[in-house]
Amino acid sequence: MKDINQRLSEIKDKISDKSFRENKGLGNEIGFYIFDYNPEDEIKVREHVKTLKREMKRDSNIKIKEFDLYEVMLEVLEEKGYLQKNFEMEKKSDSQRVFKATERTLRLTSQGKDNKIVQYIVDNTADDEIVFLTGVGKVWPIIRSHTVLNNLHKAVENVPVVLFFPGTYDGQTLILFDEIKDDNYYRAFKLVDKY
């Protein structure tokens, strides 16, 4: 089994490959990838993503657009005028009620332009960029990674997308924190194998 440092070092070569950037997977599938990792390695992964973005821009002019799902959620709620309302609701209600209200506000189960998170990503991504999705663990249980990926599949076709996932992806199932089974998701490729 490769350690996290070995796996992180392989990302640069993968995303530098012309066929990766042209978004041509096996059988011309849409280029969605998952980099799964031990949740204990979260800080290493975050730091590597920052470094990789700088290196790619400097060395090869490849543009990586990172979307921290937690930060995106906060920004969308702020834009819609709901962030302060959520804080007030949390003082009076339990977390589950706040989560449900946030899900409705963001229209997370909707497709296309109705889904505020997906639309934010679409609106802020250029055709020559690679999308990195981070912050999966920070935003759970409000936003589920399989929901974002499923809805992005229908909205983003021209750019490769890499989800950094703190847990395990076996090619079909996402297991967040190696404890919480999300839902089956089978359209993504593993970016770098653990073995």
pLDDT in tens, 121-148: 999 999 889 999 999 999 998 898 888 8
Q: What is the mean pLDDT of the chain?
A: 88
pTM summary value:
0.91
Confirm if 123 and 159 have CB atoms less than 8 A apart: no
In one-letter notation, the amino acid at residue 67 is: F
Residue 104 pLDDT exceeds 70: yes
Whether the per-residue pLDDT at 155 is higher than 90: the answer is: no
Q: 10-67 pLDDT, tens per residue?
A: 999 999 988 888 766 555 566 899 999 999 999 999 999 999 999 998 888 789 999 9
